[in-house]
Amino acid sequence: MSELFFDESVILLDLECSAKEEVLTTMGRNLVNKNLVKESFIDAIIAREFEFATGLPTAGISVAIPHTDVHHVNRKTISMGVLNETVDFGVMGDDRETTPVKLVFMLAMDETHSQLSLLQQLMQVFQSEETLQYLVTEKDKTTIKQLIKAKVNCDSLEGDEKE
């Protein structure tokens, strides 16, 4: 099991995108360039999003958690994207509805069934309106990184300078 990769370089702020494909391509391309995922990840994550939407209407800001099969992934990563303007994503489990997404957590998972605590902690982030509000307004990536690290399984996070 590899350690989760999460640092400033996978936090993308002020994304100017007009459609979900563009969001997924931009965020996916960044991960490909960093060799965290394979080239095939981008097409796979777009296809998966069309087949099984991942938009989540929350109490405050809608979130999307695009992800795809483990074999497109080199290293377990969570990438975060904040959009300047909301982009419609399909609602998870309900393809008749869309939700205006402002915050995207792209999950690059490298194994099945065994990352419960990580995912649970991430869901806790989505369930806090206050945290979401903070994440879409904060402009300092280091501050954002620290906040997420504090909430999501900080022991297994890498990409931090040794203290």
Binding site for another protein (CB under 8 A): 48, 51-52, 54, 56-59, 65, 67-70, 91-95, 107, 109, 111-116, 119-120, 123, 126-127
Closer by beta carbon to another protein, 54 or else 79: 54
Q: Which amino acid is at 90?
A: G
Q: How far is the CB of 98 from another protein (least distance, A)?
A: 13
Least CB distance from residue 132 to another protein, whole Å? 11
Report the SS3 class of residue 55.
Answer: strand
In the chain, what's the furthest Cα-to-Cα distance?
A: 49
Give the position of tokens 């938009």. Answer: 55
Nearer to another protein, 68 or 153 (CB): 68
Q: Minimal CA–CA distance to 138: which of 82, 64, 65?
A: 82
Shortest distance, CB of residue 127 to another protein, whole angstroms?
Answer: 3
Whether 100 and 114 have beta carbons less than 8 Å apart is answered as: no
Least separation in angstroms between CB 66 and another protein? 10
CB nearer to another protein: pick between 65 and 148: 65
Q: How would you classify residue 153: left for phi > 0, otherwise alpha for psi between -120 and 50, otherwise beta? A: left
Nearer to another protein, 8 or 88 (CB): 88
The closest alpha carbon to 14, from 142, 103, 112, belongs to: 103
Q: Which is nearer to another protein, 30 or 115 (CB)?
A: 115
* Helix intervals (H) in the chain: 20-33, 40-51, 116-126, 129-137, 141-151
Shortest Cβ distance from residue 109 to another protein (Å)?
Answer: 5
